Structure 1
């Protein structure tokens, strides 16, 4: 096992279920890719490598989904089932 430093262009989003689950989004400019990695604790469970156009399509889908979740009543702010976690910088374990 080796420890890899988290790239500068990386963002961690925790799963609402907790228990160390989450998604890391990392930009690899040198390769022209955005990598999504699903985590369970300190182990990477899966990765998806996206070209810029694929990442843009994902962002469009997320944007549409968020728009659909907006409350009908203007000015009403929905209660979040979780507290959003700030981006973290933690070492990654590799196999």
Structure 2
């Protein structure tokens, strides 16, 4: 029986809560899929297969959220740095 091929492209993102939680993202070009898998203590707890043609929608959503987070942070900084108005 053939061994499954290990994907050559991907990344691991560590969860700030610790306890060996991570998200692994792997490309499977031969299947036109991106697999998102949740890991804890080196055990895969679940996977999600995203079709490669859906990746741009996911990226757009993540970008939109990041833009909103930056806008919110800029507004907070502007409020803190604004000198008090004389009244």
C-alpha separation in 1, matches of 2:29 and 2:15: 26
Aligned to 1:11: 11
Report the structure, 1 or 2, having the larger helix content.
Answer: 2
C-alpha separation in 2, matches of 1:58 and 1:16: 22
- Unaligned stretches of 5+ residues in structure 2: 78-87
CA root-mean-square deviation = 2.2
Number of equivalenced pairs: 72
TM-score (structure 1 length as normaliser): 0.67
Aligned to 1:63: 63
Q: Which runs of 4+ in 1 moved over 3 A?
A: none
1:5 Cα deviation after fit:
7.1
- Unaligned stretches of 5+ residues in structure 1: 76-95
Aligned to 1:72: 74
Which structure has the higher relative contact order (CA within 8 Å, separation 6+)? Answer: 1
Mean CA deviation greater in 30-39 or 51-60: 51-60
